[in-house]
Structures are given as C-alpha cells and as structure tokens.
Amino acid sequence: MPRLVMKFGGTSVANVERIRNVARHVRREVEAGYDVAVVVSAMAGKTNELVAWCKEAAPIYDPKEYDVVVASGEQVTSGLLALVLQNDGLPARSWQGWQIPIRTSDQHGAARIASIDGSGILDGFEARREVAVVSGFQGVHAETSRIATLGRGGSDTSAVALAAALGAERCDIYTDVDGVYTTDPRIVPKARRLDRVAFEEMLEMASLGAKVLQVRSVELAMLYRVPTYVRSSFDDPADPKPGTLICDEEDIVEQSVVTGIAFSKDEAQITLRRVADKPGVAAAIFGPLADQNVNVDMIIQVVSDDEATTDITFTVPAADYERSRAILEENRERIGLKDIQGATDVVKVSAIGVGMRSHAGVASRAFRALAEKGINIRAITTSEIKFSVLIDAAYTELAVRTLHSLYGLDKA
C-alpha cells in the first residue's frame, strides 16, 4: 500500500466537532488505498495556555519540565482523534513522540530531530491497516529519556520528518488556508493561490515572513525530496481542493520570474556610528551577538569621510532588540564605537522567485517602483532567488501592493 502522512494544525482540531471533520478527511484517504499516519497539533490556543501556566508556576523555569507541560496539548488531540476514528470503525491508535520514538537533540524548547524509528507504525499498517495518530511538536532525547519539543510550529517538522522516515508518497499539511498565495490576501485581495512552489522558493518565503509552514519543515522536505501539499481542512472532505504542491523546481513546467512577495514585521534595525575601521571589528560586534543566539540578518557598512571610522547597520529580530543593544553596550570599548542608534518601526519586504536566476534587472525595477511611491529603502539584501528591502513599517501595505502588481502577480 502507498503511504501518506497528513498533518492538521490547531484550528483544524480546535474542538471535537472539528476533530470529527478531520476524521472524515482521514477516512477519504484510507478508502483511496493509503496507509495513513496523522500528525496533530494541540487544539487552537491550548499551547499558549500551557505556556502561561508554566510562567505562572515559575517565572524562571526548567526547560525540561516546560517541555513536559507544553507537549501535553498534542497528546490530548492525538487521543481524541484516535477515539473518533475508532468510533467511526477505523482501526487507529495514538503515538507520542517517545513511543515511536522520534529522537531529538537536548535543546529543550527548540530541539532538532536526530532520527525516527517508524517500525512500530509500519507494523500497524501491515497487520491491521491501523491509522497512526501521532502527537506532533515533540520527541525524546535518547540519552536522558526526557521529552523535548521542536519549537512553535514544530508539528509541521514532525510531519515531514515522519513522511521521510516512512517512505510516504507525500505529506499533506492541512491548515486554515487552502494553499500558498502570492502574498497575504488580507493586504492584496487579488493575491492568487499558487498551484506549485519550488522547495527553495518556499524555504525563502517561510524564512522571510510567510507563516504557512515552519522553516525547518521546508528544509527537511527539500533535503529528503518529500512532495508536500498545503491544503485546507475546512474544505468538504468528500471534494477537497488540490491546494499548493511544494516540489522540485524541475516539476514546475512554467516558472515565473517572481513567485511571491513576503513581509516580516518582526524586525528591528541597529546602527553603530563611527566604529573604528580596522580588522577584527566585525568579529567584536557580531561574535557576542552570535554567542547569545541573536540572529543577525541584513548588514550594511559605510566608510566615513575620514576613512578611519565606519557606520554599520544591521537587523535583528524585534524580540531581541533590547537584548542586542545591551550586549553591544557591554562590548562598547572592545568595539570602539561612538553611538548606538536603532528603530523598531521597520518591516522587511521580500520578492522571491527561482526565475531571478536567469533574469537581470529584477531588483532594480522594484527599487524604481518603490521610489516612485515615495518609499525610502533603509537596507537591501539579495541572493540568487530573492531580494529584501527594509522600509518604514508605515509603508508596508503600499510596498507589498506595489511589488505584487509590478511583477504581474495579481493577474490570473
């Protein structure tokens, strides 16, 4: 029998009635001839509630015990779905991460999957065509036998990794949207659902602000070549829409120059003024930030007129802004800087498309279009298949709409 992994997010399992709807989706695939493993998230809002309880119990908490608490949300969902499937006449059992087992690193709260032993699930397929209902977002650190969670959105990663381990034909990620769009439809009503997106494009889109899939899940899908669909659990289970397929670039017949426009409001800008322009300064700035796990993105260096000092501008996640400034203040003398300036009212807008590899002038058209709209660009970064600009947050919607129209993404 071909194998299929289905993943359902928190809004899809928000209550028992929605879990029954999930069961109808599962039944459709079982009746189509698939051996099915289902990965589930916690009910919508449950993880936030569990996190709040941890903080109430101990403002500074043990991350190992934190993982024990927050992993329980998925356990409840997996048990409920297994009960519903059994009540509907389908053989099913729930699996927790440690039972499979999904082995992880020991970085509690943000663990990475090391290996998956899917033999127990495969035995259930072979003996009883049993639906495996797997608690997402969690695994076990083998050396300590402690539960470890994969970070927010980790159920996506659980699903893709399980699909790779089971040799599944594909992985279907069910959420509250019916696919990947050219941009956020709430900002651009003419945004279109994409039939197919290349792995590399989806990886860039996920890392640059698109919230459809967790970045790590896309990395795994690309690494193990797992075809992954993004679909809506709210479609009629008897007649679901096709969704968007995340696949190899070679599987896309006609590739647009620009596939989508993403934006991230989770950005902050830091500028260091009159830093000594000498070897080792960059290491003195970015080394301490890296040691504290601060992710630095855009970096711009401008040498001053005196040629002895330089200004360095870079971005960090907004949540790390104050901490980053404090780290830099602690290292002020070592860095040799005169002043630290910053801003949190900024947004990063990005255009992504593998077609950029073979087309010149894609970014320059955007710069010209944004200038015509009076939008000032604070910083720019580029790669082979994307470019990003940092702008004032007040111009977010205007910039996204401008670029979306510029590259013809609002045309059917």
Q: Would you list which residues are annotated within the binding site for ATP?
A: 7-10, 175-176, 181, 186, 211-212
Which whole-number Å values give the CA distances from 403 to 40, 119, 261, 278, in the listed order?
36, 48, 7, 39
Instruction: List, as residue ranges, the binding site.
Output: 7-10, 47, 74, 175-176, 181, 186, 211-212
Please tell me what DSSP assigns to residue 253.
S
Nearest 5°: the CA angle 245, 250, 254 is 75
For every residue of 34-101, DSSP letters joined together read -EEEEEE-PPTTHHHHHHHHHHHH-SS--HHHHHHHHTHHHHHHHHHHHHHHHHTT--EEEE-TTTTT
**Beta-carbon count within 10 A of 60 CB:** 5
Instruction: List, as residue ranges, the binding site for substrate.
Output: 47, 74
Please tell me what DSSP assigns to residue 170.
E
Select from 149, 153, 113, 139 the least CA-distant residue to 10: 153
Residue that has been written with the tokens 């322009």 in this structure: 277
Q: In what order do the strands lie in the sheet with 113-116?
A: 113-116, 102-104, 138-141, 146-149
Q: How many Å apart are CA 240 and CA 229, to the nearest integer?
A: 12
**SS3 of 16, please?**
helix
Please tell me what DSSP assigns to residue 126.
H
User: Which amino acid type is present at position 295?
Assistant: N
* Cis ω before 101 (30° cut-off from 0): yes
